[in-house]
Amino acid sequence: MAARKKQSLINLLPSEEFAGSTTGRALAWALSTFRYIVIVTELVVILAFISRFWLDAQNQSLREEIEQKQALIASSSDFEKEFKEVQKRLTVYKTLTKDSLSFSKIFTDISTNIPDDVLLSTITFFETGLTIEGFSSNERSIVQLAVNLEKNAGYPDTSVASVSTNKEDPSLLEFSLNVALPKEGI
């Protein structure tokens, strides 16, 4: 019989003696631990990739919601401007009516005491009184208006502030009266 050939075994793994050494134990620990680290890292990457689709969908829905709200705000901007303008008007009205002055009574007093040949151009109100500006054909009518306001309407502090000839029509006189309002109100 032929002699049997001896098979030689090649072992690529370290022998038991190497596994027992410090270097062997460190190498075994590193190989097993890094394997787990690689697996966990791959799982994190896969989760990040999958979550990207969910985040994109959520981002798109939020973007659409923002666009809808912007359109709603833009559509109500005209209403808001009108509302603010009405608020300003109401504030002006409130400041005018909070005083004890009765503007309708003042206008009535002035209009009932105007001579026939006097034409008023402006009436300006102040805190303590008012200024009446207008035109007349003679001085007598201007003085008559001042006297009527003092005696008939109850404005004792009425004075003629200025009288001058109208530049456009020299036959007319421009005048200005200062009227102090009574402190107890009208």
In a structure prediction context, what are the per-residue pLDDT tens digits for the chain, which is 186 residues long?
556 666 777 766 656 676 677 887 888 888 888 888 889 999 999 999 999 999 999 999 999 999 999 999 998 999 999 999 999 999 888 877 775 557 778 888 888 889 989 999 998 888 788 899 999 999 999 999 889 888 887 888 888 899 998 888 888 899 999 998 877 654
Sequence-distant contacts of 160-167: CB under 8 A, at least 24 apart:
161/131, 163/139, 166/135
Residue 3's pLDDT is: 60
Question: Which of the 8 DSSP states describes residue 167?
Answer: S
What is the sign, positive or negative, of the torsion defined by CA atoms of 153, 158, 160, 161? negative
Q: How far is residue 44's CA from residue 13's CA, in Å, rounded to a whole number? A: 32
φ, ψ at 149 (rounded to 5°)? -65, -35
**pLDDT value, residue 133:** 94
Report the SS3 class of residue 120: strand
Report pLDDT for 68: 95
Task: Say if residues 130 and 124 touch (Cβ distance below 8 Å).
Answer: yes
Instruction: Mention every residue, 6+ apart, whose C-beta is less than 8 A from residue 123.
Output: 107, 110, 130, 131, 132, 133
Q: Token pair of 157, please?
A: 């502090």
